[in-house]
Amino acid sequence: MTRMGIGTTLTSTANSCGDRGDVEEDDRDSGKHFESTSVNSATFTSDADSQTLTMIGTGLHDGLPVGFTMIAADRGTLGPGVFTLILTDGYSVTGSLVNGSIAIQ
């Protein structure tokens, strides 16, 4: 679980060994809840200073079906990790870490 600086808690898991993982997001400010039901793709990219995970799939936003794109970036020593979650119902959230970590391996 990762606490973001915008009233949001994000949980995301994926690995590069074929398990596409899942995404969960709770927005304490609005009371909204998102949970993935299927991840169609999980793409890892890496350079000298950062690592990025992009996940695309479908899920439930407060019980209603939506598509999603989630991008998480571990910026190493350059600054705190960041993430963006965009849903097809128009909801989106972007934030940086307050505590926890983004570890992309």
Kindly list the domain boundaries of the chain, sorted by start residue: 2-93
Find, among 69, 66, 74, 75, the residue nearest to 55 by Cα.
69
Task: Answer yes or no: are the C-beta atoms of 83 and 100 closer than 8 Å.
Answer: no
**Which residue shows structure tokens 């890496």?**
46
Question: How far, in Å, CA of 23 to CA of 21, rounded?
Answer: 7
Distance CA 73, CA 104 (A): 8
| pLDDT for 22 | 79
Read off the pTM. 0.77
The 10s digit of each residue's pLDDT in 53-88 is 888 999 999 999 999 999 988 876 667 778 899 999
Query: What is the chain's mean pLDDT, rounded?
Result: 77
